[in-house]
Amino acid sequence: MINDLRQKVSIQGDPSERIAAYMVEALTARMATSGKGLYEALKCKEPPSSLRLSAMQVLFEVCPCFRFGFTAANGAILEAFKDEKRVHIIDFDINQGSQYYTLLQTMAKIPGNRPHVRLTGVDDPESVQRSVGGLKVIGRRLEQLAEDLQLSFEFQAVAAETALVSPSMLDCQPGEALIVNFAFQLHHMPDESVSTVNLRDQLLRMVKGLNPKLVTVVEQDVNTNTAPFLPRFAEAYNYYSAVFESLDATLPRNSQDRMNVEKHCLARDIVNIVACEGEERIERYEVAGKWRARMSMAGFTPRPISQNVSTEIQKVIKQYSDRFRVKEETGALHFGWEDKILIVTSAWR
Q: How confident is the model at residue 15 (pLDDT cuts 50, 70, 90)?
A: very high
* Three-state SS at 15: helix
CATH class, domain 68-221+286-299, is alpha beta
Tell me what pLDDT residue 60 has: 85
Report the alpha-carbon angle 274-258-16, nearest 5.
50
CB atoms within 10 A of CB 318: 12
DSSP state letters, 316-348: HHTTT-TTEEEEEETTEEEEEETTEEEEEEEEE
CA atoms within 13 A of residue 40's CA, in its CB half-sphere: 6
Residue 174 predicted with pLDDT over 50 = yes
Sequence-ordered alpha helix ranges (H) in 81-129: 98-108
How far is 217 from 221, CA to CA, in rounded Å? 12
What number is the average pLDDT over the span 223-252?
96
Each residue's pLDDT tens digit, 271-319:
999 999 999 999 999 999 999 999 999 999 999 999 999 998 988 888 8
Tell me what pLDDT residue 95 has: 80
Mean residue pLDDT across the chain: 92
The residue with greater pLDDT, 257 or 238, is 238
How far is 86 from 113, CA to CA, in rounded Å? 11
Tell me what pLDDT residue 129 has: 47
Tell me what pLDDT residue 128 has: 45
This prediction's pTM: 0.95
Each residue's pLDDT tens digit, 120-149:
998 776 654 444 456 788 899 999 999 999
DSSP state of 94: -
What are the boundaries of each domain within the chain?
A: 1-54+229-284, 68-221+286-299
In this structure, which amino acid lies at residue 282?
A: I
What number is the average pLDDT over the span 57-75?
90
How far is 317 from 323, CA to CA, in rounded Å? 9
Rg value, the chain, Cα: 20
How far is 139 from 159, CA to CA, in rounded Å? 13
